[in-house]
Amino acid sequence: MPKDISRRGFLKGGVSLAAGVAAGMAAGPLVLPGAAQAASGQELCTVLDLGKCIGCEACVDACRAEWQPTVPDPVKPIPQPFPSRVPIEDWSSRKDVQDRLTPYNFLYVEHLELEGKVSELHIPRRCMHCVNPPCTSLCPFGASRQEKNGVVHIDQDICLGGAKCKTVCPWHIPQRQSGVGLYLNLLPTLAGNGVMFKCHRCLPLVSQGKQPRCIEACPQKVQSIGPRQEQVAKAQALAEQAAAADGRPGQWRDYLYGLEENGGTNTLYVSPVPFAKVNAALHELHIQQASQEAPAKAGQGRGQAAKGGKGLGRRLAQAGRPPMGPVANSMENPENLTLALAIAPVAGLAAGLGRLFGGARKLGRALEARRQDADKGGQS
């Protein structure tokens, strides 16, 4: 591994729903808040050709440079939530962490060592931008949105940091920063615990017709973005080539990830090796990382922890390092559908109130900035 790290350091130095649920009620149909129906054929989809990725992390650097400044620093001391078992999550002193997802790091690269013809693989990881995102459908505050172009994002002016989005996400991707956001102006110990953050696929830039920063910065052109139908065809063609090159013609689905997972996503990965092998390697790596980062309990050495000690599954789920195994369509689960229907009217009201408070906060910040500018002008 040290040899691999040195090589990556050298490379870095050299490369500077679409969905809705309707209920027949007198008041009319209920549409899940924030889950705007994407126009047919207009969703934007990205394809990542992992065979091209050299692990230079130029994409990570570009993403951090553009978006890390948009994540606010928390108030200190951060209010202790009630009940006390609710964890405070503060990454403000660890902004340099980039080997996992954090509130200040929307994208990272997994570096795998494999056995076989392909000895190493590098995998950029971020939000999958599901076609029918459970984080949007099941957010009780209406803070998670899906745009017509398929981008799934969280409105930080509305989010209360309840982490429901992370719980229902098959990959547990959203990450919480405590001590920031709307809840501080409501009931700081009872009404939330911060804001959830994740990749929004450079929505402000994409909305202007520009490319996401990670795609723009990549020297190997690992990623491409375009209309979903075209990108799916491209991903399938690449997967067919990968399967044939690996001596398994006709088994191309084993080399394509994201097409069917969770009912389909707008992030498609193509690998030169089957994803079953990729996921097994990721799982082993994540166990090692989790056992190193979390202190072993009394009577349990690191060896035991690495083999799957008690609580390991929870640590892996919270670690900000998504797996790449099979994922069923979570929104086909009857419990989730029922919950989505029950949440819809409450979430719609919460979102409306959140926008009202959020608008007031934005106005207050604008007025404060104007006052400070006026004070500076008077002093000069």
By the 8 A CB rule, do 125 and 259 touch? no
- For 199-245, the pLDDT digits (tens) are 999 999 999 999 999 999 999 999 999 999 999 999 999 999 999 99
Give pLDDT < 70 ranges for the chain. Answer: 1-41, 294-314, 317, 336-380
* Other C-beta atoms lying within 10 Å of the C-beta of residue 342: 14
- For 2-54, the pLDDT digits (tens) are 334 344 443 444 443 333 333 333 333 333 233 333 434 479 999 999 999 99
Q: How confident is the model at residue 127, as a pLDDT?
A: 98
Q: Which DSSP state fits 185?
A: G
The closest alpha carbon to 176, from 186, 191, 163, 158, belongs to: 163
**What six digits make up the tokens of 76?**
């200190």
**What six digits make up the tokens of 67?**
């978006």
* Other C-beta atoms lying within 10 Å of the C-beta of residue 117: 10
pTM above threshold 0.85: no
Residues whose CB falls within 8 Å of the CB of residue 3, separated by 6 or more in sequence, listed in order? none
Residue 279 Cα distances to 22, 35, 112, 265, 283, angstroms: 37, 30, 10, 18, 6
Task: Give the Cα-Cα-Cα angle 321, 327, 328 (nearest 5 degrees).
Answer: 150
Q: How confident is the model at residue 176, as a pLDDT?
A: 96
Q: How confident is the model at residue 5, as a pLDDT?
A: 39
**What six digits make up the tokens of 68?**
């890390």
CA–CA dist 296, 310 (Å, integer): 10
CA–CA dist 89, 163 (Å, integer): 11
Buried b (16+ CB within 10 A) or exposed e, 50-79: bbebbbbbbbbbbbbebbeeebeebeeebb
Domains and CATH numbers, the chain: 34-375 (3.30.70.20)
**What six digits make up the tokens of 79?**
């209010």
